[in-house]
Every structure is written in structure tokens, then in C-alpha cells.
Amino acid sequence: MSLLARKEEVEARVAAACKRSGRDENEIKIIAVTKYVSLETTKSVLDKGLLHIGENRWQDVKPKWEALHERGTWHFIGHLQTNKVKDIIGKFAYIHSLDRMSLARELDKQAAALGIEVNCFLQVNVSGEESKYGVAPEHFFDFAVEVSKLKHIHITGLMTMAPYEMAADATRPVFRGLRELRDRLNERKIFPHDITELSMGMSGDFEVAIEEGATWIRLGTVLVGKEG
Ligand SMILES: *Cc1c(COP(=O)(O)O)cnc(C)c1O
């Protein structure tokens, strides 16, 4: 299938999921995850008007970012080691994987040095799966309170991943759990602004995520494809 055909199919599935759940399609933003494809294909993705690009390792994205960063909005979606912050700070508009205080402090320190604010999503391990990164739900509010004290971090929303091998419909409680955490966060007014964004849903489960309130879906295989 061509990239254009995949894009049209994904857009139709997004529209159908919105219709089923009474949501406005304009609330859903698609991040094209290009980690499995070449620089050439990433260029084609941008040519098709998919302007949000997601990547998860600096060493892989570097040549793409250097060639194409002015053409899109770049999202760092993968686990971020503290010693890699210096490579990516200031280059990505959003970091989806803020999951611990040591990382928050390093991001804040380096953002302060550059005189910028860095937009982050707090990553939560809603499913409790051991292999997944993310703060545990029982530590989430304490973590949010600590992060809220850092002046150079701006919290955009919350992010989670459902276990890869889970059947799509079994993921629903994971996505619902993230939405409920967001709502409770706003009730407690931990941040001075309302948190609206939910980064959740991948190739295998994005429709369920939309039905449960996703505002950013991160799509690799189903949209961009896989090479090599
Ligand atoms: C790879 C990746 C995706 C996209 O995965 P697909 O299943 O191919 O859509 C989304 N989010 C994160 C954090 C990823 O690492």
C-alpha cells in the first residue's frame, strides 16, 4: 500500500472512531512515527502533509532531524536517558516520556541554560506492565507536584502505552485510566493551567484510545510503514 493510501485509510478510521464516540475530529492530532523508515521516506511523510514526526532514539533520528527539522514539529517519544538530554534539548517541540524526577531536573537545568521552556508529557505506566517505562499511578500525583515546581518544564499532557501484545479491546481500561488521572490532576489544580492533552494509541490500538479521549495518537507501522 502507498503512503497516501495508508494515510487515507488511517484518517477514515480516525473519523469513524470519533463518530462512534461523539468526538470532534479536530481534537485528534496524528504523530507519524518514522523510527522504522529512512530519511527519504520521512521526507515523503512531510510531503503528504503529515507534519508531526515522532522518533525515539537520537542516534537514529539525527540525520533526519538535521535534514528536515524546519519542515515539521518533532516529538521525542521514546525512553530518554538522562545523559542524552544534551543531545535533544531544544530540538524537539515535545517530549512524551517524562517519567522520573532525575530526568525532570536535568531537562529543567538544561532548558534554563538555553533560556527555554520544554514541553513534556508525563508518562504513566497505567497497565503496570513491568517492562514499560512510566511512573506508577500510585506515585503519579507526588511526581506531578514535584515537576510543577520546575520553572523550565511546561506540562502539556499525559502519555501512556498499552502492552504491545494486548488485544485492542483489552487496552480500554489502560486508556481510560490515563484519562481519569488527567481529570483528577486538574481537579487538584497541581498545575496552574488545565491539562488537556492525552498522548495514547499506536497502530494496534489507536481507535480504542480515541474512544477513551486520546488527543495525540502515535502511529508508525499502520501509517508510515516499516522498512528493512
Ligand atoms: C514505536 C512507537 C510508536 C509507534 O508504534 P506502531 O505500533 O508502529 O504504531 C508509538 N509510540 C511509541 C512510544 C513508540 O516507541
* Residue pLDDT tens, the chain, 228 long: 899 999 999 999 999 999 999 999 999 999 999 999 999 999 999 999 999 999 999 999 999 999 999 999 999 999 999 999 999 999 999 999 999 999 999 999 999 999 999 999 999 999 998 777 999 999 999 999 999 999 999 999 999 999 988 898 899 999 999 999 999 999 999 999 999 999 999 999 999 999 999 999 999 999 999 997
Residue 25 near residue 14 (C-beta atoms within 8 A):
yes
All cell numbers assigned to 65: 532531524
Is residue 174 within 6 Å of ligand 1 at its C-beta? no
Angle, to 10 degrees, between the axis of helix 140-147 and the axis of helix 172-188?
A: 50
Is residue 223 within 6 Å of ligand 1 at its C-beta? no
Atom index in ligand 1 nearest the CA of residue 222 equals: 9
**Residue found under cell 535533544:** 88
Is residue 214 within 6 Å of ligand 1 at its C-beta? no
All cell numbers assigned to 196: 488537556
Is residue 44 within 6 Å of ligand 1 at its C-beta? no
Distance 104 CA to ligand 1 centre (A): 22
Residue nearest (by alpha carbon) to ligand 1 atom 11: 218
Atom index in ligand 1 nearest the CA of residue 226 equals: 8
Q: Going by C-beta distance under 8 Å and a sequence separation of 6 or more, which residues neighbour residue 62? A: none
Each residue's pLDDT tens digit, 86-130: 999 999 999 999 999 999 999 999 999 999 999 999 999 999 987
Distance 199 CA to ligand 1 centre (A): 11
Residue nearest (by alpha carbon) to ligand 1 atom 10: 218
Among 7, 30, 33, 61, residue to substitute to test ligand 1 (most atoms within 8 Å of Cβ): 33
Atom index in ligand 1 nearest the CA of residue 203 equals: 9
Residue 132 near residue 168 (C-beta atoms within 8 A):
no
Q: Going by C-beta distance under 8 Å and a sequence separation of 6 or more, which residues neighbour residue 83? A: none
